[in-house]
Amino acid sequence: MKPYIVVWKGPIHKASGLGHASRTYAASLRRRGVDVRLGHLRMGKRPSIGRRVLIYHDVPSHIQWHSERNAYDSIILNTVWETSRTPNAWLSHMNKFDAICVPTHHNKRALLNSGVTVPIYIVPHGVDTKVFHPNNQKFILPRADGKFTFVSVFGFQHRKNPEGLLRAYWEEFSAKDNVILVIKTNGYEPYETESWIQRQIWQYKKRLGITKDTAPVVIIGRRLSTRQMKGLYTLGDVFVLPTRGEGVGLPFLEALASGIPVITTAWGGHMDFLTHNNSFLVPYLLKNPSISMNSRHAISRSFSYLFAEKGQLWAEPDHHSLRMSMRKAYENPTLCKRKGSQGRLDVLPLTWSRAGMLMKHVVEKSIRSNKSE
């Protein structure tokens, strides 16, 4: 293989899961001996640095094709998607890339369903099991002392199904149950603060007409440190998120690495690593996202321009089954510990080093197959 460099363009400075993946993928390539530059390559006269590869980790329709094709010998898209099909505006751009990397089989199916014809390679996310592990000091929350604790981590948007989680919890558990639900969430605009999210939730409870003395819910809508986040997982007896669709589901990986089992919908990218041995999997029906977005239960940002096009589907978890899974976990703490221990074992091989190796193979295969080689 002739010398080459990789330029990585993506949300490397963002605090989101996408930003974390972007930084960690790039670092994993570097550990595999790849010369990786972040953001851009200063051109001037074309330097004698061998082949130049762009890995574009951003919205496919935002790429500037003319300038990028002039600058790089190969252009690879690294992307992720949550519903059954990508947005229509993506397709013409995706088929201009030399190759596409996705982290899960769910993503590959979504791209194929959308009409992608260029090579698609699965390059899974990893999880740092030295950072997330069962011995991390628990997050300090006196209200949770002695209680069976459900923990959930998600952005406050409709795809994550916050209303489904809350409704199942409120209907299934009362103040007589020795249980608590701790939700770590965040908004997407400056006004979507912790107090704003709390108001949305309490207004929803009132709208449902739930008047019984329900089990407690704690909403954390502020940023937590890495140490606090690690401890939030180990605070839990079980992690619960009845999502409608995930490209990967980074919190699921972090929960399992922390020895905590998962309750979630049995559809999405997370099904590459969740099983009945490490999780409580909830059955579902596939429906167009606009149905639930327009229902009386919707309480969070919808991003309908991305997810609700004709032909797109995502999973609506069965409400009764979700309640029963939460009840089963609560009544069987020993089962939770057993599933959590299995989950820890299951994710030990899912390293970022493996991701770097697989992505390096894609880069070099793309270079070899490029006609300009």
| 91 and 61, same domain (yes or no) | yes
Tokens of 12: 């490397």
Higher pLDDT, 287 or 19: 287
Clarify whether residues 361 and 284 are in a common domain.
no
E strand or H helix at 94? helix 91-94
Please tell me whether residues 159 and 227 are part of one structural domain: yes
Q: Is residue 166, in this structure, part of any structural domain at all? A: yes
Domain-embedded: residue 272: yes
**Has residue 94 got a pLDDT over 90?**
yes
- Work out the burial of residue 19: count CB atoms within 10 Å of its CB; fewer than 13 is exposed, 13-18 middle, 19 or more buried: middle
Task: Give the whole-angstrom CA distance, residue 169 versus residue 181.
Answer: 8
User: Per-residue confidence at 44, pLDDT binned at 50, 70, 90?
Assistant: very low
If asked whether residues 198 and 344 sit together in one domain, one would say: yes
Verify that 161 and 104 share a domain, yes or no. Answer: no
Residue 102 sits in the same domain as residue 232: no
C-alpha 174/C-alpha 72 separation (Å) is 60
Mean confidence (pLDDT) of the chain: 94
- Confirm whether 251 is domain-assigned: yes
Percent with pLDDT over 70 in the chain: 97
- Whether residue 48 is predicted with pLDDT greater than 60 in this model: the reply is no
Residues 308 and 160 in one domain: yes
Please check whether residue 320 lies inside any domain of the structure: yes
- Which DSSP symbol is given to 214? B
Co-location of 366 and 338 in the same domain:
no
The H helix count followed by the E strand count for the chain is 13, 14
Q: Residues 161-220: pLDDT tens digits? A: 999 999 999 999 999 999 999 999 999 999 999 999 999 999 999 999 998 789 999 999
pLDDT digits (tens, 9 = 90+) for 117-131: 999 999 999 999 999
Is the pLDDT confidence value at 373 over 60? no
Residues 164 and 213 in one domain: yes
Integer angstrom CA distances of residue 201 from 162, 183, 272, 356: 9, 11, 32, 41
Whether 65 and 86 share a structural domain: yes
264 inside domain? yes
pTM to 2 decimal places: 0.93
Same domain, yes or no, for 92 and 176?
A: no
| Position 42 pLDDT exceeds 60 | no
Can you tell me the distance from the alpha carbon of 60 to that of 93, in angstroms, rounded to the nearest whole number?
6
Range of the domain at 279: 142-348
Q: At 201, which CATH number?
A: 3.40.50.2000
Confidence (pLDDT) at 49: 66
The position carrying tokens 């989680």 is 165
> How many structural domains compose the chain?
2
Tokens linked to 348 = 């030990």
Residue 309 in tokens: 């096009």
Q: Is the pLDDT reported for residue 45 higher than 50?
A: no
| 71 band by pLDDT with thresholds 50, 70 and 90 | very high
Identify the band that residue 89 occupies on the pLDDT scale cut at 50, 70 and 90.
very high
Q: pLDDT tens digits for 302-348? A: 999 999 999 999 999 999 999 999 999 999 999 999 999 999 999 99
Residues 344 and 356 in one domain: no
pLDDT score of 369: 87
